[in-house]
Structure 1
Amino acid sequence: MALSQAATSEPEEASPRTRQRMQESTPPGSAALRVSPGPGERRAVAARQLRVLLRPLAVAGRRLPQKRLLGAGGGAAEGSAPAGKRLRPEPGPPKPAPASPPPGSPEGNGWDGAWDAESDGSDAGPEAPADGRSQLSAYERKRLKNITENAKFFAALKLHESAARLQQIATKRQSHVTKSCSRAKPKKAEDETVRRRSMRLQRVEPSGIPVAEVAAQPGAEEYPQVPAGPLPMVPEDEVENSKLREELLTTWMRISEMKAKDPEEHTEHTCDIKRYQESLNSMVLSQENVKKVVKYRVCSMAIHPSESLLFVAAGDKTGQIGLWNVSCRSEEGAHVFVPHSYSVTCMQFSPCNPAHLLSLSTESLRCGDVTRAIFDEICRSEDLSSFDFLEDNACSAIVGYWHGGVAVVDRRTPGTSSELSVDIGFKRTRTVHVHPVNKQYFMAAGSVDVCIYDVRYLKSSGNSPVSSLKGHTKSVASAYFSPVTGSRVVTVCADDKLRIYDTSSLSPTVTALSTIRHNNNTGRWLTRFQAVWDPRREDCFVVGSLARPRQVEVFQDTGKLLHSFSNPDCLSSVCSINGFHPSKNILVGGNSSGRLHVFKEE
């Protein structure tokens, strides 16, 4: 009875060592003599059983994933697959998955057995070393072993020494680049002495000249500097005693000695506009009347008043003046002279002596005298823009400046300075033109200003205009009196309008009589349009056009388009500078490539 009560009552809790000896001495399967575990051991056993229950069930033909033991360096544990590779099942029939160990077996209680050692790394029992690591589990001992082997492997590779050496090299290179960038790069000697220029700017013909030879030449300026003072009348591409030059100058002298007919005899004024249109229709352009007279863009032009033959002068943007005897059918009919250093913006044959050709550039006003074969210098200054004669004998002239002023020049006074320099309050003066009847009046056109002044009352500053032509909103390219009475003025403005003013009575303010819509946007590469009157008429003028096919237009002062000169076979460019012959049915137009086009009756 006492024994049964003792067996049924709960035994006293034994010490851990006592319980371990009792379990080792108790044979398997004899649960009657097993000592009951304490509360701490029961919790450990429950945890192990929970891990076994959560372990995935084995499937036939499929291996359970093995747990890889990694060292500190990320290497695989001993006996496992190399890093980065997956374990593949060995060929052969699939092995059946092991069943879960029974709860009462040693493999199931977590104290021993390979199952629990693989799952959670618990104590491996007799495999534990006898040294100081007896307290470590099998997983920890594996990990320490892998760490030691990985450290030995990396030490054999000497990676630390290589990394330190590379770091040292990178530091030195970075410091060298920083020092190099802090210093300014030395300028190449060839950049200081050689300046690349195109063959066009060097004034070198591209045909027949090797590139190496051109590059060896010293860099030429865009505009060659012409010396001050008189210059011999020698063509640019010929020697002084050339026979061709003598023939050209002789022709010019011969036609200038012939007395020209009175312009009044050829003036048609405003009558019979239909007959005038018929004469315009009879003027045609042929290929033989197109010639390249100067090398570059035509900026000004003058037609000799002779009726015996047609003689034309053209000035380009580099200071060249080309003389062309249109009546001469040979290739030597045109010759080029260089009396200026900059663009020739204005040219006129002397009204009293056509043997004199006056030309103006930015730096000087010169007179080409064919009788002496010399280009004499009349006025030398800066920023000259245009000129016109104040007298019929062409002894004095009014000169405009790009900076806005004007000056009076007298050819009879020794020296090359002006007689009077005047500030008229303009920002820019593009053209000046003298009244054809009342020579004391002249008109100046500038930014948005077109005013008429009396030369007799000019003073250094504080000048008031006699009349102002209002209505312009942008810069004015030109303004000219009608050729016979001066009762009309035509202007070309950048606001794409042509304006005609009635100046028969010079009132203080004059408004436009008629306005013509006209595309004047010539841009940078074309010479700005200038509308000039037909010398034989008082009511008709000619102006260039941007329309296609290329043409030159003639308008009436009422705004009516009378005629358009065109020829698709011979005229394929814009003629910005145009002019009529003083007494014949001839029109000459110049384009931006240095060519002149002559429309005349057949």
Structure 2
Amino acid sequence: MAGSWESLQVNESKPPQSIIGLSLTSQQTIILQKQARVLLFPFVVKKNKQGQIMRPQNLSENNSNDKEMLKVKREYRELQTPRIKAVFPKEEYSLQKSALGSQTEPSVVMPRNTKNVLSLSNEIQSNQDGYGDENETADMDDSTELSAYEKKRLKNISENAEFFASLHLVETAARLREMITKRPSHGIKRKKPKKAEDEIVCRRSMRLLKVDPSGVPLPDPSPQPESVVDQYTRLPPGPLEMIPENQTGENEMFRGVLQMWMKISQPRNKSTKKLSNVKRYQASLTGMVISEDTVCKVTQSRICSMAIHPSETRTLVAAGDKLGQVGLWDLTQQPRENGIFTFILHSQIVSCLNFSPANPAHLLSLSYDGTLRCGDFTRAVFEEVYRNEERDFSYFDFLGDDASTLIVGHWDASVAIVDRRTPGTSYEQFFNSHMSSIRTLQVHPMNRCYFIAAGARDVHIYDLRYLKSKGMKPLISLTEHMKSLASAYFSPVTGNRVVTTCADDNLRVFDTSCMSSEIPLLTRVRHNNNTGRWLTRFRAVWDPKQEDCFIVGSMARPRSIDVFHESGELVHSFMDGECLASVCSISVMHPTQNILAGGNSSGRIHVFKV
């Protein structure tokens, strides 16, 4: 045994000189496992007869009790192989590793969970109790000499043991075991109801809550005046007295307007209209201007239809709005407010207004609420011409010059022929079409048996002589439109042209001089028709004085009203930066005078005149 320590081989590297700090964090913790293995082989020295020393033999070869010797070797090896586990930061280990130089790297094991830390504390506690240190110290004392490495190693072992003892890991491990081994409950966990205080309450304005800033409830608003009509409540059937809503009591001014209206509304012979060249027509449009006196708010809401009285001595403009109100404006009255008179004739949108071609003292208005009324200014009354509460009306036109018969289009794509000459309720005759809806319709100015109807995406031309109650077969169909249509109108004199307004941002002009199965497309004008939901849709209409030119509103800036030739050429743009600052969706031109009126979505009318 004395000579065996000289051949002692330790398969581990020299530990670092000092350990700066230790950490129990699993992410930055390593375990240094050191093993010192001493292999001892007992042997016997014998001499032969000649006195020579023979080769040493292993006692295990001669000993019969081999199992006993192997057991002794195993126990002795275990005693001489203590496991010392140290915990220190990863950064310090890298420094220690570089200091070891060419020595063998230690065996490093990273703890994965809390159980590894607990096993570490138990082993250190067992070593502290004297298992590893006492045995190893006793063995070292038996040796003849103790190297500096072994002294430093024993010192590190004792320091580590004292440090881990100060951490009280045993008590901590016991508490962790109780927490880990605690069985989870298998009962159903129910969510606790949230308290009312914890719920998030959406903010609401005090106006909607009907309270003032101090929290006091506000009183109920005052009842609306009787003149304001609910949008979905139909007016009672029968005639309505012609009393302006914006005038109170006896109004002598309105009586004077009625007398003036009767004088200027005398029927006159229809003169033949001559078509002037484009340059002369363009020059006449250049002389038309707008001023503050020719701009005024006439209706309460958005304007959806307009008409100009054919008088050549006075300028009278009529407008129908979204709420069913009809406003009249006499531009000769000063100040402007004295020439405005409003009437509530319908409960929904007034989509069409026309003065009678036979008697200009009659103003006919059609609404979505299923009523068609005629304002007779000679008797100061609004008569009910046609009523059908089961259908919604969309548009109408006169079938004859005497205005005795009308053609009425419905939103359900049906058409009604109304005869005003029958006593009592007007006679009606229905025809159903294959269209999805009818938005506008117009009778041909020369051949009264033809009429054109604009539907959702198709334009159809029908012949009244071949209409059937079960279904109307169109004579000609125009199917070039890609999106929803807004209008389709014949040229005013000959009807040889048709202009359509479509939501695909195009204005199209067709040649209808020959009523054949195919109608050629003459011109496609690129035009921004995207008015949106808050503006009335554009409707390109012909100028009654110049049937090869049509008028349409514009979305461009500065705001304007454009006039195009049928070839697509821009003839003129009516604009004024101060007086025209909004989009005029609806435009109408005087039949004989250079007067243009445009209505916007706030009920304001802009008039350009010479």
TM-score (norm 1): 0.67
Matches within 5 A, 1:106-185: 174=191
Matches within 5 A, 1:239-388: 239=248, 241-243=249-251, 246-248=252-254, 250-258=256-264, 262=268, 264-265=270-271, 267=273, 269-330=274-335, 331-362=337-368, 363-381=370-388, 382-388=391-397
Deviation (angstroms), 1:406: 0.9
Aligned to 2:65: none
CA shift in 2, pair 1:493/1:42, >3 Å: closer
SS in 2 for 1:288: helix
C-alpha RMSD of matched pairs (Å): 5.0
Q: Paired residue for 1:587, among 592, 596, 599?
A: 596
For the residues of structure 2 that align with 1:103 and 1:167, how far apart are their CA atoms? 53
SS in 1 for 2:80: helix
CA shift in 2, pair 1:105/1:595, >3 Å: same
Whether the 8 Å contact between 1:406 and 1:421 is mirrored in structure 2 is yes
Aligned to 2:607: 598
For the residues of structure 2 that align with 1:443 and 1:291, how far apart are their CA atoms? 34
Q: Paired residue for 1:473, among 482, 505, 515?
A: 482
For the residues of structure 1 that align with 2:172 and 2:291, how far apart are their CA atoms? 104
Aligned to 1:126: none
For the residues of structure 2 that align with 1:372 and 1:211, how far apart are their CA atoms? 50
Deviation (angstroms), 1:39: 6.5
Whether the 8 Å contact between 1:404 and 1:429 is mirrored in structure 2 is yes
Deviation (angstroms), 1:506: 2.4
Whether the 8 Å contact between 1:554 and 1:563 is mirrored in structure 2 is yes
Amino acid in structure 1 at the alignment position of 2:339: G
For the residues of structure 2 that align with 1:501 and 1:217, how far apart are their CA atoms? 53
Deviations 1:98-117 (A, max 9, x none): 9x846364899xxxxxx99x
For the residues of structure 1 that align with 2:300 and 2:385, how far apart are their CA atoms? 26
Amino acid in structure 2 at the alignment position of 1:49: Q
Whether the 8 Å contact between 1:75 and 1:146 is mirrored in structure 2 is no
Structure 2: 5+ residue runs without aligned partners?
A: 1-46, 48-67, 88-95, 97-113, 126-133, 145-152, 159-168, 197-203, 211-215
Deviation (angstroms), 1:324: 1.2
Deviation (angstroms), 1:500: 2.5
Deviations 1:506-545 (A, max 9, x none): 2233222333222222222221211212222232221112
Amino acid in structure 2 at the alignment position of 1:174: K
SS in 2 for 1:271: coil
SS in 2 for 1:247: helix
Deviation (angstroms), 1:410: 1.4
Whether the 8 Å contact between 2:588 and 2:596 is mirrored in structure 1 is yes
Q: Paired residue for 1:225, among 211, 216, 233?
A: 233
Deviation (angstroms), 1:416: 4.7
Amino acid in structure 2 at the alignment position of 1:359: S
For the residues of structure 1 that align with 2:544 and 2:83, how far apart are their CA atoms? 121
Deviation (angstroms), 1:436: 2.1
For the residues of structure 1 that align with 2:172 and 2:560, how far apart are their CA atoms? 97
SS in 1 for 2:323: coil
CA shift in 2, pair 1:77/1:265, >3 Å: closer
CA shift in 2, pair 1:211/1:486, >3 Å: farther
Deviations 1:27-66 (A, max 9, x none): xxxxxxxxxx97655644443334399999xx9xxxxxxx
For the residues of structure 2 that align with 1:600 and 1:281, how far apart are their CA atoms? 10
Aligned to 2:78: 47
For the residues of structure 2 that align with 1:474 and 1:235, how far apart are their CA atoms? 41
CA shift in 2, pair 1:537/1:72, >3 Å: closer
Whether the 8 Å contact between 2:352 and 2:366 is mirrored in structure 1 is yes
CA shift in 2, pair 1:49/1:448, >3 Å: closer
Aligned to 2:543: 534
Aligned to 2:553: 544
Whether the 8 Å contact between 1:256 and 1:306 is mirrored in structure 2 is no
CA shift in 2, pair 1:38/1:441, >3 Å: closer
Deviation (angstroms), 1:366: 1.1
Amino acid in structure 1 at the alignment position of 2:387: R
Matches within 5 A, 1:93-108: 101=137, 103=139, 105=141
Deviation (angstroms), 1:282: 0.3
Aligned to 1:127: none
CA shift in 2, pair 1:397/1:564, >3 Å: same
Deviation (angstroms), 1:551: 1.0
Deviation (angstroms), 1:315: 0.8
Whether the 8 Å contact between 1:469 and 1:512 is mirrored in structure 2 is no
Deviation (angstroms), 1:454: 2.8
Whether the 8 Å contact between 2:440 and 2:488 is mirrored in structure 1 is yes
Whether the 8 Å contact between 1:430 and 1:446 is mirrored in structure 2 is yes
For the residues of structure 1 that align with 2:292 and 2:315, how far apart are their CA atoms? 16
SS in 1 for 2:262: helix
TM-score (norm 2): 0.66
Amino acid in structure 2 at the alignment position of 1:272: N
Deviation (angstroms), 1:197: 12
Deviation (angstroms), 1:395: 1.6
Aligned to 1:563: 572
Whether the 8 Å contact between 2:230 and 2:347 is mirrored in structure 1 is no
Deviation (angstroms), 1:487: 2.7
For the residues of structure 1 that align with 2:573 and 2:326, how far apart are their CA atoms? 28
Whether the 8 Å contact between 2:247 and 2:341 is mirrored in structure 1 is no
How high is the sequence identity, in percent, across the aligned residues?
45
CA shift in 2, pair 1:447/1:249, >3 Å: farther
Whether the 8 Å contact between 2:261 and 2:377 is mirrored in structure 1 is no
For the residues of structure 2 that align with 1:489 and 1:583, how far apart are their CA atoms? 21
Deviation (angstroms), 1:564: 0.8
Whether the 8 Å contact between 1:263 and 1:583 is mirrored in structure 2 is no
Amino acid in structure 2 at the alignment position of 1:357: L
Instruction: Report the number of matched residues.
Output: 481
CA shift in 2, pair 1:517/1:223, >3 Å: same
